[in-house]
Structure 1
Amino acid sequence: MDNRAGEMQVFQRVVEAQSFSEAARQMRMTPSTVSKLIGRIEARLGVRLLERSTRRLSLTAEGQVYYERSQALLSELDEVERELSQGAARVGGTVRVNASVGFGIHGLEPLLPAFWEAYPNVVVDLSLSDEIVDLYLDRTDIAFRVGALASSSLTARKLGSAQRKIVAAPAYLARRGTPQTVEDLARHSCLGFNFRRSAPMWPLRDSGRIVDRSVSGPLLANNGETVRRMALAGMGLGRIGEFHAREDLRAGRLVEVLPEAVVGDTEDIHALFLGGERLPHRVRAFLDFMTPRLRAYLEP
């Protein structure tokens, strides 16, 4: 059985007691058992951790690293157990979260009441924007990003992918007709975006290949939720992520058109955060709560 945590505790006690026999006495073990455990660690690692003499023990350079890292790991283990034994109600503080408007409204916000039921002392400082924020400058703990990720030092946790769909209200289609081919889009009002990274082009599948189709319409918005609402109002066709339109499609408030033109047109969705795996408990609690639920939400 792997008992490295127990071995680390013995090593810590030996270093702090500066004696095998004293560490053995404190831990109610025999000195030979303590010596064998230290020898087992050194054999597994292939390095000497302690220099032994008749008068004192001293740490080698490798031993110093092992002592400091094992001390941090044991402290974290104690904190995890203390947190679980005391209950999630002890986790508190503010988690600053940024998400795209549509993903925040449809994916994230419905999960917040259950999160607060589990973690009543955590304040969620939530900002919704389809613009990309700088986590450092905006002091954001977690950003939920839709689309390709730029190279950065941030840690990314993939949640899933969203299929784009072209949708319109039944009233719009009754008034303007339903497009049957990609070429028909030239005669329709297409609701677009005004991001710096966007262009008045829709990459669509036509005759087995992807082509960029120039589109135009009465709206350029900075978020998908506005495009969705204007599509619901009958103002034109919107090309948005499936999660934006899911409930409207189910209820018949929106209708999908040209589904074959967007086959394979997907965007990955990630949670981005600072600090790698060494996160404040409030941030880790939020991530660990949201991740499986958002992954389930994004499953087709």
Structure 2
Amino acid sequence: MDGAEFDEVLAFLATFEGGSFAAASDVLNRDASIVSRRVSALEARLATRLLERSTRRLAPTEAGNLLYRRMRSALSMMEEARNEATETSSIASGSLRIALPATFGQRRIAPLLPGFLAAYPKVTIEAEYSDRYVDLIHERFDLAIRLGNLSDSRLIARQLASNERLAVASRAYLAQHGTPETPDQLAMHVCLANPRLEGYPEWKFRNGDTVHTVRLPFRMTADDSSSLVCAAVAGIGITVCARWLIVDELASGQLVPILSDWQFTHGGGVHLVRPSARYTPLKTRVFIDWIVDRFKVQPW
């Protein structure tokens, strides 16, 4: 495969993964018209159509799907071989791409990263803080932190900590409105919820073998749990949030747990995930060991 054909293959892979020539142009740092011409040249070279074009979207053909799987696998093997060859010195190096949940990443992971960079000066970090669901394989991320219950079987996961969620309120709110003793009694209270959390619009609680689900008329919803914590601290109502988010508010007494006999069921864990692959680069392995060591004792 000569240089021109290799560029055509890269253009096709980026277009396949991005879903458009514009998205591929951002990845390859080339004009979209150049990307389009390279894909067309590859189709002409192979005498087959790889992508069906329309005014709204691109869709891979059967041949396109087959070529993508084969070429992505081949490039992954080439990358593994290159990484193995460059790691003979046993010194971790290279760029580490990490996807992190926005609030959790900023509060719990970001303060730790300078220590890692100091310990491994030849490794650089590209961190994305976002609550969107990142496809690690297609978007070429090395690692991600994910909260809750996992569903992607293509990934290798390691739990770092629990993601326990608590029902909480301020002392002032409870003094004025009373303290609910059972999930049913939440219907008589002002409740605040994050619609992006698993289970919404229901709150599900467990007490031993008993599971109780309540659906409530929420006074306030917000896709940022920090804003719900602020409202709860101000005495507006009751909310459910992760313990790691309210460590300081619990310690200071600004918020207090309620329904202590009941466990909120939609919690899961804090997981470190990576693509399932035969070869894991040294830069990834040292970060896994380093972050696992930081979570040996649960920090909240």
Q: TM-score range by the shorter chain?
A: 0.5 to 0.7
Aligned residue for 1:203? 204
Residues of 2 paired with 1:185 and 1:102: CA distance? 27
Distance 1:294 1:180 in 2: 33
Structure 1 residue aligned with 2:140: 139
Question: How far does residue 271 in structure 1 lie from its aligned partner after superposition?
Answer: 1.0
Q: Following TM superposition, by how much is the alpha carbon of 1:233 offset from its aligned partner in structure 2, in angstroms?
A: 3.4
Q: Does 1:127 align with 2:128?
A: yes
Rounded Cα–Cα distance in structure 2 between residues aligned with 1:170 and 1:136 = 46
Alignment partners' CA distance in 2, 1:210 and 1:151: 26
Closer, same or farther: CA 262–76 of 1 in aligned 2, 3 Å: same
User: RMSD over aligned Cα, in angstroms?
Assistant: 3.1
Deviation at 1:275, TM superposition (A): 4.6
Q: Is the contact made by 2:149 and 2:267 (CA closer than 8 Å) also made in structure 1?
A: no
State percent identity of aligned pairs: 30
Q: Residue 292 of structure 2 corresponds to which residue in structure 1?
A: 291
Partners of 1:101 and 1:223 within 8 A in 2 = no
State the alpha-carbon separation in 1 of the partners of residues 234 and 106 from structure 2.
19
User: Contact conserved, 1:182 with 1:206, CA < 8 A, in 2?
Assistant: no
Q: Which residue of 2 aligns with 1:237?
A: 238
The answer (yes or no) to whether the contact 2:97–2:142 under 8 Å persists in 1 is yes
Query: What is the deviation of 1:192?
Result: 1.4
Q: Provide closer, same or farther for how the CA distance between residues 268 and 197 of structure 1 changes in structure 2, counting only shifts above 3 A.
A: closer
d(CA) in 2 for partners of 1:112, 1:226: 26
Greater C-alpha Rg: 1
Unaligned runs of 5+ in 2: 1-79
Counterpart-to-counterpart distance in 1, 2:235 and 2:278: 46
Structure 1 residues 234 and 160 mapped into 2: Cα distance closer, same or farther (>3 Å)?
A: same
The answer on 1:186 being equivalent to 2:187 is yes
Alignment partner of 1:296: what SS? coil
Q: Which has the higher helix share?
A: 1
The one-letter code sitting in structure 2 at the alignment partner of 1:83 is S
Aligned to 2:153: 152
Cα separation, 2, equivalents of 1:196 and 1:159: 20
1:114 and 2:115 correspond: yes
Q: Please give the TM-score of this superposition, normalised by the length of structure 2.
A: 0.63
SS at match of 1:289: helix
Unmatched runs of 5 consecutive residues or more in structure 1: 1-71, 85-90
- Structure 1 contact 164–267 (Cα < 8 Å) conserved: no
Check the 8 A contact 1:100/1:223 in 2, yes or no: no
> Which residue identity is paired with 1:161?
S
Matching of residues 28-43 of structure 1 within 5 Å? none
2:283 paired with 1:276: no
Alignment coverage as a number of residue pairs: 220
Structure-1-length-normalised TM-score: 0.63
- Give distance in 2, aligned partners of 1:286 and 1:226: 32
Which range is displaced more, 128-137 or 248-257? Answer: 128-137
Which amino acid letter does the alignment assign opposite residue 127 of structure 1?
E
Q: Indicate the residue corresponding to 1:165 in structure 2.
A: 166
User: Judging changes above 3 Å, is the alpha-carbon distance between structure 1 residues 276 and 224 closer, same or farther for their aligned structure 2 residues?
Assistant: farther
